[in-house]
């Protein structure tokens, strides 16, 4: 009950918070331009909030994976902004700085980014990967047993709307020949629609296998459903998604590598996956 409630609150957080940060940053800049006066408190607003807005924009427009759990620059900027704001203690800018700046940054990094992932007894190294069924982009069903007989790298990703997922898949596409040379099949699975999956495959010119997990059926079998994981305001993807999950399974269907990240911004680097593949006998 409490976990579901927190999940719904998280769903409401990201886009409204980002919008308010942009509004407050613009208001701070407007003050200095229109009032023709300098204010430490209003400067503190920009210093505390702008770096996180910039970070979110960079992740969205220039996506990359492998970001660390704790991003230092926004935290240090928020602390500096809070210090500048309390020099004058003007009510409105100080409130903005402490609430949207320091408070918002800490919430984003230490609460919102955390997937609250529980221990998964199903996806243990050495265990057999449970059976599941997915669909091709054309709508044909495929059972997981069809992937047996060769090493398989499974990437369960949230959807086209997730910039970190996009970055992870793009990085895989760039190193795909290195992976294929090792005789490994790469299988991408997402609960998004076949049309959106086809769009991603076309945009990134993917030669990897792309499948659709309709209604998160496979994710439910594996215990990796992320309830209320799609942010409010992201249309066309439903409310639930999948917890980002990377698995390497050997020819016999046994799990030999599992990355069950507990932070949506952090994914295993391709070099890490290649090293793990090289270690599979």
pLDDT single digits (tens) 132-160: 999 999 999 999 999 999 999 999 999 99
pLDDT value of residue 176: 93
Between 58 and 200, residue with greater pLDDT: 200
Q: Annotate 28-84 with DSSP letters as a single string.
A: HHHHHHHS-S--HHHHHHHHHHHHHHHHHHHHHHS--S---SS-HHHHHHHHHHHHH
Same domain, 138 and 274: yes
- Tens digits of residue pLDDT in 12-56: 888 888 889 889 988 888 887 776 778 899 999 999 998 888 887
Average pLDDT for 73-96: 92
Average pLDDT for 182-210: 95
Average pLDDT for 240-251: 97
121 belongs to a structural domain: no
Separation of first and last alpha carbons in the chain = 44
154 belongs to a structural domain: yes
Same domain, 261 and 162: yes
Between 33 and 275, residue with greater pLDDT: 275
Indicate if the pLDDT at residue 1 is higher than 70: no
pLDDT value of residue 63: 63
Q: What is the pTM of this model?
A: 0.90
SS3 264: coil
The pair of structure tokens assigned to 229 is 């994981």
Same domain, 218 and 253: yes
For residue 260, the surrounding DSSP H or E stretch is none
pLDDT band at 183 (very low <50, low <70, confident <90, very high): very high
Q: What is the number of domains present in the chain?
A: 2
128 belongs to a structural domain: no
Q: Which domain range does residue 228 map to?
A: 133-278
Q: What percent of the chain has pLDDT over 90?
A: 68
Question: Which CATH number characterizes residue 161's domain?
Answer: 3.40.30.10
Same domain, 152 and 203: yes
């Amino acid at each position: 009950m409490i976990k579901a409630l927190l999940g719904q609150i998280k769903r409401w957080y990201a886009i409204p918070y980002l919008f308010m940060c942009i509004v407050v940053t613009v208001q701070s800049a407007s003050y200095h331009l229109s009032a023709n006066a300098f204010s430490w408190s209003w400067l503190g607003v920009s210093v505390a909030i702008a770096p996180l807005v910039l970070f979110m924009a960079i992740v969205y427009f220039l996506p990359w994976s492998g970001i660390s759990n704790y991003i230092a620059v926004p935290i240090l900027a928020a602390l500096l902004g809070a210090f500048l704001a309390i020099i004058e203690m003007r009510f409105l800018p100080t409130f903005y700085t402490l609430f949207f700046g320091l408070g918002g940054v800490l919430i984003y990094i230490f609460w919102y980014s955390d997937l609250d992932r529980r221990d998964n007894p199903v996806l243990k190294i050495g265990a057999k990967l449970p059976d599941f069924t997915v669909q091709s982009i054309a709508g044909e069903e495929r059972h997981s047993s069809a992937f047996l007989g060769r090493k398989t790298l499974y990437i369960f990703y949230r959807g086209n709307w997730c910039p970190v997922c996009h970055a992870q898949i793009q990085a895989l596409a760039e190193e795909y020949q290195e992976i294929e040379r090792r005789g490994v099949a790469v299988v991408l699975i997402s609960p998004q629609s076949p049309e959106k999956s086809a769009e991603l495959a076309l945009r990134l010119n993917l030669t990897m296998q792309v499948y659709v997990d309709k209604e998160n059926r496979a994710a439910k079998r594996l215990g990796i459903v992320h309830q209320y994981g799609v942010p409010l305001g992201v249309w066309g993807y439903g409310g639930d998604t999948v917890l980002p999950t990377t698995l390497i399974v050997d020819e016999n269907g046994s799990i030999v590598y599992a990355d069950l990240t507990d932070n949506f911004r952090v994914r295993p680097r391709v070099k890490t996956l290649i090293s793990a593949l090289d270690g599979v006998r």
